[in-house]
Structures are given as structure tokens and as C-alpha cells.
């Protein structure tokens, strides 16, 4: 009996030893599982220098409209914007006679405008930022009667942004804005037909506004309200049909906008916004004493944007705008790029 059971006992002992030997290996495998989970989390987590979603939202909000952002006292910031705008329309060419309005022709006009804008911001105080923008405009217009190309400086803008209350994460942030547009571009009231295209408004204008935004990570909500008052263009001598235009007084304009930015990740964000402006009719005066007033204009546009962080300090923003009314551009495409020196 002993000779028969000895091999069984030896086999049991060998099996036990094999199990004991296997325990460390299984324990090691069990320890490796959390390590794999940690590696996955590390791979998904943001790396040092990437910033966070809040900073990305602030940069995207600034790209949508610089009126929402301020910089620290004594610091400077430069931004380059490239914008393409297309307008296609049927324009009714008319003339005013003693008997009233006379229809002459319906003219198809296509306008392509490329605007290069350099913006400079300076922190006067921590809650007060001054800024100036220099646009250079290339405009090509093609119509059934003539075509023209103009390259010149556009209207320079000088303004300031003031934050009356300290910015806090748990409440909306308000910014009061003021801006003066100087008629440095080529005036549309002084352009002679066939000699080029206008690249400016032709009048000085003052704009005051209020902007509000709140960041609720990963979303930033924003809205704006503004009003623009323009000075009159006097001393004109522009042939308009059979009459000579001598004075133009643009109407007051009121605008508003709403939108949001959403951070998809630590490097990509999207924006959606709506903007509308309602402008009262302009008053025109002709050399023979005739005075007329144009109709009210309404411009509305929807903007879609994408922000991509190419480095910890640089975010490139692309946007596409679609016009919703006859008084709006049909299409606009924009690129915003912060410049660091």
C-alpha cells in the first residue's frame, strides 16, 4: 500500500509547489493591470504647457470679437486678421427728376473684397485696454457696365475697452466699449464711375457698446449691444445720374449679437454666433436743393468658427459667415492669428 500511495503523495507535493511558483506571476499580472489603466489616463490627460479649456475659450472668444478681452497693464498684443467677403446683388440704377423717381436700368454687380488687418492692443490699466486697427483692402467689382480694382488703406479704428467690475468665474463679465472710425479709406461719395472702388465709409463714426460673457467650462456664452452715430459728409460734388450729390448724412445704426463657444478638447473649440444691425435711412442732398431719404437697412449674419491651438501660446481661428438678408454679405471667410514678438 505504501509503495502504491507514495507516487500519489509525490504528485500532490509537486502540484502544490507548482501552484506556489505560479502565484508571484499571477500577482505580477494583477499589478500590471492598474499600470495599464494609468498609462491610458496619462495618454488622454493634457500635457504640460497645453493650457486648459478655460484659456482656450477666452482665446476663441477674443477671436470672435476683441471687444470681450482685456490685457494686463503695460503689456502689448498684436493680431493679424485676413478676411474675404463676397457680395452679389442686382442694383437698380435710378435718377431723381422733377416728376419723381425714374428707373433707368437693373445692374448685376459682384464684389470680392480681401481685407488684411493688423490690430494693436495696449494695457493702459488692468481693466482698461486701448486699441487701434489698420486695415489694408483689396476690392474687385465686376458689373454689366464696368469692372474695377482698388488697393488702399481702409478706415482706421481707434478705441478702448473698460471693465467696470472685476472678472469672476462665478458671474457674468461686462465690458464697456468705445470706438472712433476715421474716414481714411477711399470714400464712396468721391469715387468717379470707372476710376476705382471705394475702400472706406467716407464719414467719421462713433460706436458705443456693452458686451457680456460668462464661461461655464466647457462653454462660453456671450452677447453684445451697440449703437453707431455717423457724422455727415459735406462738400461733395459727385455726379449721380443727372444730379450732383453735395451732402450725405448716414442714419444711426443699432446692432446686437449672441453666441457661444464650445471646447471640444484642450486644443480644439467651435463657435456659433448671430449678429444683426439695423441702420436708419441716409439723408441725401443734391445741388439743386432736392433732398431724399433712403430706406432702413437690416443686416444679419450667422458665423461658424473653429479654433485650433497650434502651440501653448498660439491659437489659429477660422470662421465662415453666411448672410441672411439682402443687405448682408453673401459670404465671408476669416482667419485670426495672434502675433508674438
Mean pLDDT across the chain, nearest whole number? 80
Q: CA nearest 189: which of 103, 107, 249, 109? A: 249
Check residue 334 and give its pLDDT. 94
| Segment 236-245 mean pLDDT | 84
Q: Whole-model pTM?
A: 0.77
Which pLDDT score is estimated for 169? 74
CA separation for the pair 201, 282 (Å, rounded) = 13
Q: What's the angle, vertex CA 197, arms to CA 195 and CA 202, rounded to 5?
A: 110
CA distances from 47 to 37, 51, 53, 230, 267 (A): 17, 8, 13, 50, 11
CA atoms within 13 A on the CB side of 118: 5
**pLDDT per residue as tens digits for the range 37-63:** 454 344 434 444 344 566 666 666 666
Distance CA 332, CA 330 (A): 7
DSSP assignments along 241-281, one per residue: TTEEEEEEEPPPEEEEEEEEEEESSSSEEEEEEEEEEEEPP
pLDDT at 178 over 80: yes
Q: pLDDT tens digit string along 64-86? A: 656 667 888 999 989 999 999 99
Q: Which residue has the higher pLDDT, 317 or 30?
A: 317
pLDDT in tens, 123-134: 999 999 999 999
Average pLDDT score over residue span 136-141: 92
Q: Is 70 helix (H, G, I), strand (E, B) or coil?
A: coil
Q: Of 9-23, 93-107, 282-296, 315-329, where does mean pLDDT reach its minimum?
A: 9-23
Lowest mean pLDDT of 202-211, 234-243, 276-285, name the range: 234-243
Residue 21 has pLDDT above 50, yes or no: no
Amino acid at each position: 500500500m505504501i509503495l502504491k500511495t507514495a507516487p500519489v503523495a509525490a504528485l500532490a507535493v509537486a502540484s502544490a509547489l507548482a501552484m506556489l511558483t505560479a502565484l508571484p506571476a499571477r500577482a505580477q499580472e494583477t499589478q500590471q493591470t492598474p499600470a495599464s489603466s494609468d498609462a491610458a489616463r496619462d495618454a488622454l490627460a493634457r500635457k504640460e504647457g497645453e493650457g486648459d479649456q478655460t484659456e482656450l475659450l477666452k482665446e476663441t472668444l477674443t477671436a470672435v470679437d476683441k471687444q470681450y478681452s482685456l490685457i494686463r497693464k503695460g503689456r502689448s498684443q498684436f493680431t493679424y486678421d485676413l478676411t474675404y467677403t463676397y457680395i452679389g446683388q442686382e442694383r437698380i440704377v435710378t435718377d431723381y427728376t422733377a416728376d419723381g423717381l425714374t428707373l433707368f436700368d437693373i445692374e448685376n454687380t459682384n464684389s470680392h473684397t480681401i481685407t488684411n488687418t493688423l490690430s494693436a492692443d495696449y494695457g493702459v490699466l488692468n481693466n482698461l485696454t486701448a486699441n487701434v486697427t489698420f486695415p489694408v483692402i483689396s476690392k474687385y467689382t465686376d458689373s454689366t457696365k464696368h469692372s474695377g480694382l482698388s488697393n488702399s488703406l481702409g478706415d482706421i479704428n481707434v478705441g478702448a475697452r473698460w471693465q467696470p467690475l472685476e472678472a469672476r468665474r462665478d458671474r457674468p463679465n461686462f465690458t464697456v466699449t468705445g470706438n472712433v472710425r476715421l474716414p481714411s479709406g477711399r470714400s464712396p461719395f468721391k469715387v468717379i464711375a470707372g476710376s476705382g472702388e471705394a475702400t472706406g465709409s467716407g464719414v467719421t463714426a462713433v460706436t458705443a457698446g456693452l458686451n457680456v460673457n460668462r464661461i461655464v467650462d466647457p462653454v462660453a456664452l456671450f452677447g453684445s449691444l451697440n449703437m453707431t452715430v455717423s457724422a455727415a459728409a459735406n462738400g461733395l460734388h459727385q455726379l449721380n445720374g443727372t444730379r450732383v450729390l453735395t451732402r450725405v448724412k448716414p442714419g444711426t445704426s443699432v446692432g446686437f449679437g449672441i453666441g457661444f463657444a464650445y471646447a471640444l478638447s484642450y486644443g480644439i473649440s467651435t463657435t456659433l454666433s448671430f449678429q444683426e444691425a439695423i441702420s436708419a435711412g441716409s439723408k441725401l442732398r443734391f445741388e439743386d436743393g432736392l433732398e431724399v431719404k433712403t430706406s432702413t437697412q437690416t443686416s444679419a449674419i450667422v458665423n461658424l468658427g473653429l479654433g485650433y491651438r497650434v502651440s501653448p501660446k498660439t491659437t489659429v481661428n477660422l470662421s465662415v459667415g453666411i448672410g441672411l438678408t439682402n443687405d448682408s454679405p453673401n459670404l465671408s471667410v476669416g482667419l485670426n492669428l495672434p502675433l508674438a514678438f
